[in-house]
Amino acid sequence: MKNAEFHLALPCEDLEKTKDFYINKLDAELGRSTDNWLDVNLCGNQITFTKTGDFSFDFKNYRLNNQILPSFHFGVIIDVETWGKLYSRLFSMDLEVTTEVTFFENKVGEHLSFFVKDPNGYMVEFKSFKDHREIFNI
């Protein structure tokens, strides 16, 4: 898995202030966004901020479409062949791997995703975009 972009998802209290900081102050690029989350392209890496209001580590999940996702997670974006092999290998090891899901099907940013829990309880996400050029597209 050499040369993979990094993905980090973090909760945030105020999306507008977060957007202003990353886009206007750090000169990062805005990617896809909704009223509840936004993607930032920070040096070629994807940071997703999810609106939670006041938060603590007690808020373990958020909803994206019909899926419940872990609020605190990180991951990498890899090609579909690597994604499939890794998913199959980890799933066969009887690890806590979430079921494969496709986000934004038939839309900009369509990607496969799965999560696996590490020994510390952290959730690691592996993504594979249908069109790699759409990682940050709106």
pLDDT averaged per 10 residues, the chain (length 138): 79 86 86 91 87 67 68 81 89 79 89 82 85 83
pTM for the whole thing? 0.65
Return the pLDDT at 116: 84
Contact present, 9 and 74 (Cβ < 8 Å)? yes
- The domain ranges of the chain are 5-134
Q: In the CATH scheme, what architecture does the domain 5-134 have?
A: Roll (3.10)
